[in-house]
Amino acid sequence: KNQVEQSPQSLIILEGKNCTLQCNYTVSPFSNLRWYKQDTGRGPVSLTIMTFSENTKSNGRYTATLDADTKQSSLHITASQLSDSASYICVVSAASGTYKYIFGTGTRLKVLA
């Protein structure tokens, strides 16, 4: 069964600290993996996309990694800011060419001053 699991469910950190969010998937055949940021009451916004051949990709203070062998991805946030408080959703696309996007339940991050 295609599944995406994220951990932790929630996380609280102090402003300026770093954190890492995890995403494990059992989607096959794999096409790509995206990390989205969703502010409360808003729609998700894409942060990064990882394809099979990519190990690391950065977008400002966000760095995503992908290990296609172990089917794991992480999102590292450096020097967190209050505006980073949001839910972060991992989405894996299946390569079958249909509509299949498999969503994780998200990690809710709270950054405190």
Partner 1 sequence: DGGITQSPKYLFRKEGQNVTLSCEQNLNHDAMYWYRQDPGQGLRLIYYSQIVNDFQKGDIAEGYSVSREKKESFPLTVTSAQKNPTAFYLCASSIGRGGNEQFFGPGTRLTVL
**Which residues of the chain form contacts with partner 1 (CB under 8 A)?**
4, 9, 31-32, 34, 36, 41-46, 49, 89, 91, 93-106
Q: Which is nearer to partner 1, 13 or 49 (CB)?
A: 49
* Distance between CA atoms of residues 39 and 65, nearest Å: 22
Q: Which is nearer to partner 1, 70 or 98 (CB)?
A: 98
* Distance between CA atoms of residues 69 and 8, nearest Å: 22
Residue 11 Cβ, how far from partner 1 at the closest point, in Å?
15
Specify the DSSP class assigned to residue 22.
E
Q: Which is nearer to partner 1, 44 or 80 (CB)?
A: 44
Residue 42 Cβ, how far from partner 1 at the closest point, in Å?
6
- Residue 92 tokens read as 């894996």
Specify the DSSP class assigned to residue 29.
S
Q: Which is nearer to partner 1, 4 or 111 (CB)?
A: 4
Residue 95 Cβ, how far from partner 1 at the closest point, in Å?
7
Residue 26 Cβ, how far from partner 1 at the closest point, in Å?
14
- 6: CB partners within 8 A, 6+ apart: 21, 22, 23, 24, 88, 89, 90, 104, 105, 106, 107
